[in-house]
């Protein structure tokens, strides 16, 4: 069955479980001062829209678009279930978020991700979709454990 990308909420049990797994992974891999993962309540409170990649009823990946201002959005909580990696789930969610940002008339998308090998596939995916390394944006600061990336839409 082909992947479908839909708007989601943390109330969906599978979505909530994947967001929790993402948060736990980020907190385990990153020191607190360098960990920028947002819990679902804070993420939605910041006005984020969450997308989920589904294969039938199974949620395989999630990602969120959080507005920084009317023209600039930030990608948050990008996570593909370990058992679904290598199937294009992350790229499908990313493309859905790019389309969502365009529909909201945003001009730029940015993100923060890690520098360790754990994040290498994500960095490669972002580069392949037109993201380039940039200075910190929003309230972020230079951090040796963070890579900041951006692209125009």
31: left (phi over 0), alpha (psi -120 to 50) or beta: beta
| Segment 90-109, tens digit of pLDDT | 999 999 999 999 999 999 99
Percent of the chain predicted with pLDDT > 90: 61
pTM: 0.89
With a CB cutoff of 8 Å and minimum separation 6, the contacts of 140 are: 36, 112, 146, 148
pLDDT tens column, 14-43: 888 887 787 777 766 777 677 777 777 787
Q: What's phi and psi for 118, nearest 5 deg?
A: -55, -35
Asked whether 145 and 136 are in contact (CB, 8 A), the reply is no
């Amino acid at each position: 069955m082909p992947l479908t990308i839909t708007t989601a909420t943390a109330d969906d049990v599978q979505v909530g479980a994947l967001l929790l797994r993402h948060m736990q992974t980020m907190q385990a891999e990153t020191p607190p001062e360098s960990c920028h993962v947002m819990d679902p309540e804070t993420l939605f409170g910041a006005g984020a829209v969450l997308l989920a990649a589904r294969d039938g009823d199974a949620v395989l990946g999630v990602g969120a678009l959080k507005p920084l201002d009317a023209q600039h959005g930030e990608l948050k909580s990008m996570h593909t279930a370990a058992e679904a990696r290598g199937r294009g789930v992350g790229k499908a969610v990313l493309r859905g978020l790019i389309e969502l940002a365009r529909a909201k008339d945003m001009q730029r998308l940015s993100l923060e991700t890690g520098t360790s090998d754990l994040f290498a596939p994500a960095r490669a995916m972002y580069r392949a979709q037109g993201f380039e390394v940039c200075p910190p944006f929003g309230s972020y600061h230079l951090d040796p454990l963070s890579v900041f990336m951006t692209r125009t839409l």
